[in-house]
């Protein structure tokens, strides 16, 4: 026990803070993009919806390293977009914290999108028709009728998105690298200390990730549980 406490006292906690702020930023971006994409997709014709849905969901089924490879090609300073961002806006993506956020957002976005879309598809359309009958604008209907009705699904999608972004490893390693104090996340730290044979430090980081993940799951269950209180049990 004393050995563990000594390791914890000497531990560099920067991977935790980098992971938390990366997860928060990626969740914030995915929240609005996911809701927007879900709203647009729900209204599409079935054929077009199938194609767009497949493209938006693709990062969820691809190996993260594959997604990271494409992001690296896209934002490399040897590629048109990377050159444009760096020379015109002084924005560097590769091996920066911004790269961590972009990689985590791309990987976690499908969870937000699919949960929001599923929630929108289950909304009673009569509520929307009632809002139109009352003369409400489409934007007001969306924010005052649709969003509250889809609240539990959106909440669970947000929580799962944060959890996924927090633990992202493959795409982040490809795009942002593993720079201590800058882009080194918890997942990257675990992989690095295991390679060094430091299983005690790895165990502490694994325990931290498990506790955070458990807290996220409990929070999601509490949110959904409040919604289900109104449903009669069989």
Domains of the chain: 2-228 (1.10.3720.10)
Neighbours of 196 (CB within 10 A): 9
Cβ-based burial of 47 (10 A; exposed 0-12, middle 13-18, buried ≥19): exposed
Give the Cβ contact number of residue 116 at 10 Å: 29
Distances (CA, A) of 165 to 29, 86, 100: 11, 25, 9
In the predicted model, what is the mean pLDDT of residues 80-92?
88
Q: Which of 40-49, 99-108, 187-196, 215-224 has the highest mean pLDDT?
A: 99-108
Give the separation between CA 224 and CA 228, rounded to whole angstroms.
6
Residue 159, pLDDT above cutoff 50: yes
Residues 6+ apart with CB under 8 A from 69: 174
Which of 45 and 103 is assigned the larger pLDDT? 103
Q: Whole-angstrom Cα distance, residue 18 to residue 104? A: 12
Q: What is the pLDDT of residues 121-156, one digit of tens each?
A: 888 888 888 888 888 888 888 888 888 888 888 988
Angstrom CA distances, 102 to 93, 94, 134, 162, 192, stand at 8, 10, 41, 13, 22
- Answer for the pair 73, 93: CB distance below 8 angstroms, yes or no: no
Direct distance between the N- and C-terminal alpha carbons of the chain, in angstroms, rounded to an integer: 48
Q: What pLDDT sits at residue 226?
A: 60
């Amino acid at each position: 026990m004393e050995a563990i406490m000594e390791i914890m006292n000497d531990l560099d906690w920067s991977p935790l803070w980098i992971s938390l702020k990366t997860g928060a930023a990626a969740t914030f971006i995915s929240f609005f993009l996911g809701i927007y994409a879900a709203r647009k997709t729900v209204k599409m014709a079935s054929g077009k919806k199938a194609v767009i849905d497949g493209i938006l969901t693709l990062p969820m089924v691809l190996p993260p390293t594959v997604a990271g490879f494409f992001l690296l090609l896209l934002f490399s300073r040897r590629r048109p977009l990377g050159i444009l961002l760096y020379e015109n806006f002084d924005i560097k993506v590769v091996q920066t914290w911004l790269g961590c956020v972009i990689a985590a957002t791309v990987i976690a976005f499908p969870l937000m999108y699919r949960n929001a879309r599923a929630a929108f598809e289950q909304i009673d359309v009569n509520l929307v028709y009632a809002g139109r009958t009352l003369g409400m604008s489409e934007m007001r209907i969306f924010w005052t009728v649709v969003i509250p009705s889809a609240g539990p699904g959106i909440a669970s999608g947000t929580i799962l998105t944060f959890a996924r972004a927090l633990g992202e490893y493959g795409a982040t390693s490809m795009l942002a690298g593993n720079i201590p104090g800058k882009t080194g996340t918890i997942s990257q730290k675990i992989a690095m200390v295991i390679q060094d044979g430091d299983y005690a430090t790895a165990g502490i980081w694994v325990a931290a990730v498990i506790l955070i993940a458990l807290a996220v799951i409990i929070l999601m269950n509490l949110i959904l549980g409040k919604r289900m209180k109104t449903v009669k049990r069989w």
